[in-house]
């Protein structure tokens, strides 16, 4: 069978040669459209979030009940001072989008990182060691998967109240399931490669095998899951906010703006479409960046 043939490319003799890996990485990145585009958009969003007070035309908290739900610029009845219109309480929608980027980015990235670390650690450990370790970790994974997030969220709200920290922690500590499951099976697959067996045979320490032989082979899967978890976390924050766990009003977040737009869905779809498009752009950028990083760091592209 063909799959018995050694997939030797990942041993990657090129790694030790030439300029340092980091500088090669950046050189390659510059020529890669996905990275340039994805990274560029992401950078703009990050800068927007950082400099929100300078960029926002209005105070995102200033409400004016007499100017509620003014439509955005492309619709009839819009006013020039509110380019993207106003929300249900008459707050400037553009300013809320700009400030909302802070919360959403924070939640998306922190959650993806926390849960990524947990999930990868569990998944790789289970996949690499197998046996009893695998059983214990499978137990943890299955228990987690069977536990509804809503239930945890409501309990935490009742116990300690809601806050931004609470939602990041809850999401980070709960959303590692997809990482763990995918990493586990990817590691199982990588572990059975001959070069891993070879490394073990020559007495390489486990941590080195995991870091230098297993990880490069499973990192693609990690990046893909991570890019989806960013969007997942941002949207989930919205539903948790509605249960009282997420950001506390009047602070805006994209997820919350989308969830609040639900009431206006049929007749004023722009209320939901504006934060929805913002989130789509963020997710797309993260994905393109992830894709690009995958392309240029993948073993098969290195020679």
Give residues 152-181 in contact with another protein (rule: CB under 8 A).
152, 154-155, 157-159, 161-162, 177-178, 181
Closer of 113 and 298 to another protein (Cβ): 298
Site for another protein in 109-148 (CB under 8 A): 130-131, 135, 138-139, 141-143, 145-148
Closer of 55 and 134 to another protein (Cβ): 134
What element of type H or E holds 103? helix 93-129
Site for another protein in 239-268 (CB under 8 A): 241-244, 248-250, 258-260, 262-268
Choice from 151, 201, 203, 207 touching another protein (CB under 8 A): 151
Instruction: Give pairs for 204-213: CB < 8 Å, separation 24+.
Output: 206/128, 210/124, 210/128, 213/10
Q: Is there binding between residue 296 and another protein (CB under 8 A)?
A: no
Closer of 171 and 234 to another protein (Cβ): 234
Q: Give the chain's count of helices (H) and strands (E).
A: 13, 0
Tell me the closest approach of the beta carbon of residue 51 to another protein, in angstroms: 23
Q: Cα separation of 19 and 51, whole Å?
A: 36
Closer of 46 and 69 to another protein (Cβ): 69
User: How many residues interact with another protein (rule CB under 8 A)?
Assistant: 97
| DSSP per residue, 134-203 | HHHHHHHHHHHHTS-HHHHHHHHHHHH---HHHHHHHHHHHTTHHHHHHHHHHHHHHHTSHHHHHHHHTT
Q: Cα separation of 185 and 167, whole Å?
A: 29
Tell me the closest approach of the beta carbon of residue 22 to another protein, in angstroms: 23
In DSSP terms, 92 is beta-bridged to 86
Distance of CA 33 to the CA centre of its chain: 21
3-state SS, residue 91: coil
Phi, psi of 264 (to 5 degrees): -100, 10
Closer of 157 and 199 to another protein (Cβ): 157
Site for another protein in 51-110 (CB under 8 A): 61, 63, 65-66, 68-69, 88-90
Tell me the closest approach of the beta carbon of residue 287 to another protein, in angstroms: 5
Tokens 């697959």 locate to 189
Q: Cα separation of 6 and 284, whole Å?
A: 35
Tell me the closest approach of the beta carbon of residue 182 to another protein, in angstroms: 5
Reading the block at residue 109, the tokens are 């990235």
Closer of 168 and 226 to another protein (Cβ): 226
Q: Is there binding between residue 207 and another protein (CB under 8 A)?
A: no
Closer of 44 and 51 to another protein (Cβ): 44
């Amino acid at each position: 069978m063909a799959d018995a043939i050694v997939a030797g490319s990942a041993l990657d003799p090129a790694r030790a040669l030439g300029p340092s890996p980091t500088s090669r990485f950046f050189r390659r990145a510059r020529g890669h459209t996905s990275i340039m585009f994805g990274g560029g958009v992401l950078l703009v969003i990050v800068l927007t979030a950082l400099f929100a007070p300078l960029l926002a035309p209005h105070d995102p908290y200033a409400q004016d009940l007499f100017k509620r739900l003014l439509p955005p610029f492309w619709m009839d009845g819009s006013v020039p001072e509110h380019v993207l219109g106003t929300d249900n309480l008459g707050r400037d929608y553009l300013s809320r989008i700009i400030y909302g980027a802070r919360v959403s980015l924070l939640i998306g990235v922190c959650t993806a990182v926390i849960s990524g670390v947990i999930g990868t650690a569990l998944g790789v450990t289970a996949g690499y060691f197998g046996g009893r370790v695998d059983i214990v970790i499978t137990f943890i994974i299955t228990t987690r998967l069977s536990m509804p997030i809503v239930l945890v969220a409501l309990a935490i709200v009742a116990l300690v109240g809601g806050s931004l920290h609470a939602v990041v922690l809850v999401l980070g500590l709960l959303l590692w399931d997809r990482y763990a499951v995918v990493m586990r099976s990817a590691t199982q697959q990588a572990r059975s490669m001959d070069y891993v067996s070879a490394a073990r045979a020559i007495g390489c320490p486990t941590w080195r095998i995991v870091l230098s032989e297993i990880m490069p082979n499973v990192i693609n899967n990690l990046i893909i899951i991570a890019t989806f978890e960013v969007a997942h976390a941002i949207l989930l924050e919205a539903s948790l906010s509605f249960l009282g766990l997420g950001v506390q009003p009047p602070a805006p977040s994209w997820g919350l703006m989308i969830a609040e737009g639900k009431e206006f869905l049929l007749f004023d779809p722009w209320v939901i479409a504006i934060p929805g498009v913002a989130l789509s752009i963020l997710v797309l950028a993260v994905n393109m960046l992830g894709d690009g990083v995958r392309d240029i760091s993948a073993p098969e592209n290195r020679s």
